[in-house]
Amino acid sequence: MPETRTTYFCVDIETSGPVPSLYDMISIGAVVVAPDETGSLALGADFYIEIQPQAPRFDTRTIPIHGLSFEHLQANGTPRRDAMVQLAEWTNRNLRDGTKPTFVGHNAPFDWSFIAWTYAAEEMDNPFGYKAMCTKSLASGVLGLHWFDSNKEILTARLGLPAEDHRQKHRADYDARFQAEILIRLLEKLEERG
């Protein structure tokens, strides 16, 4: 049955540390997942932006993970408020008529907390509202996995997806697209169960 109530937005972020306020969200990737002309869920438009840091801390141990240095972001990043405006506008443009947006993250509490905090800090409405769907939790339920076994490596094998490209891993747009593939397969399996 085609999805008629929501447009899914798979979101991934990279940060300069573990928690909002003390550290920054420094890049955002997002991908739309919605029914195609056949009614099957499919990948849609994508979004990517890098953000200028302004939090009091920047943990340099994160740089080898995502490759985004403080200096690079200061010189090339988008001001935080502008980035959040662009994400909200992109989300609204890609929201299907008659649906509500659903934020989807792989470990959604982490990604959503930075998004929600940043919108609040900028005194802007969060286009996703105060809810998030977690593909790790969904996988635990759909596949009967323990939470600790809901990582991307195990899900890739269980869902028959191609392995992650480790050259692109931890780039927010690549990770958002990869988790969108996971979401589609999990929702397909959920539908198969009836």
Q: Annotated catalytic sites, by residue?
A: 170
State the helix-helix crossing angle for 172-192 and 152-159, rounded to 10 degrees: 50
Q: Which residue type, as a one-letter code, is found at position 73?
A: L
Alpha-carbon torsion (76, 82, 86, 88), positive or negative: positive
Alpha-carbon torsion (107, 118, 172, 87), positive or negative: positive
Cβ–Cβ contacts within 10 Å for residue 84, how many? 23
